[in-house]
Amino acid sequence: MTRRSGVALLAGAAVAVLAAGCGEDDFENNPRPAVADELTAVIQDDKVTVSPDGRGRRKVEAGPILITVSNQADEPHTVILEGEEVREETQEVAPLDTATLQKTLKEGTYEVRAGSEQAQRREIAPAVLVIEGERKSSNDELLLP
């Protein structure tokens, strides 16, 4: 290989590297999505409560939410998360068993209700979730599996 062909090869490689680096911004530095807000809910014979507010109201910021529901009532229930353009429902949850609801919620008011054939005869008061404001991204948080 002559010196001239070596220089030409090196120049060609440099041009290829520069051309590859001058492309579009395919990998923008977008913020990571918010971490899911994890809540717990309990179905009792007369009401549904969502933690940590035992009065049945809980303010949450908009974004992904994960609700783990425990059925502490005497009969099986279906759990329903319902609000503006959202309706998410679990399979029937046996007494002393749990179910999970996962959804990304926008600002608004949502109800977490329990339903069953028995509940049709008597009212089980729903828990109310009030979604206000946007949740910040998870850029500075350690995410564990």
Q: Domain limits of the chain?
A: 37-134
At 87 the three-state DSSP class reads strand
**Is residue 40 over pLDDT 70?**
yes
37-134 maps to CATH 3.30.565.10: no
Stronger pLDDT, 130 or 56, i.e. the higher one: 130
For the ranges 16-20, 60-64, 137-141, the maximum mean pLDDT occurs at: 60-64
- pTM beyond 0.85: the answer is no
Report the amino acid identity of residue 126.
Answer: P
The pLDDT value recorded for residue 34 is 72
Sign for the CA dihedral angle at 65, 89, 71, 119 comes to positive
CA quadruple 56, 60, 66, 67: dihedral, nearest 10 = 0
**Is residue 21 over pLDDT 70?**
no
Q: How far apart are CA 85 and CA 64, in angstroms?
A: 15
